[in-house]
Amino acid sequence: MKRALAVGFGLCYVLLPDRILGAAEQAAFENPADGQLRSWTLPIARLEGLAFCAFALRGQFPKPLRAPLTLLGFMLAAIPQQMLAYGLAIAYKNPTDLEVKPWVVPAARVIGVLYVILGLFIGRTDAPTDDATAK
How confident is the model at residue 25, as a pLDDT?
97
Considering only CA atoms, which of 69, 58, 52, 57 is closest in space to residue 15?
A: 52
The yes-or-no verdict on residue 82 having pLDDT over 70 is yes
Confidence tier at 123 by pLDDT (50, 70, 90): low
Q: pTM to 2 decimals?
A: 0.79
How confident is the model at residue 57, as a pLDDT?
87
Signed CA dihedral, 109, 112, 117, 122: sign only: positive
How confident is the model at residue 59, as a pLDDT?
75
Confidence tier at 52 by pLDDT (50, 70, 90): confident
How confident is the model at residue 130, as a pLDDT?
57
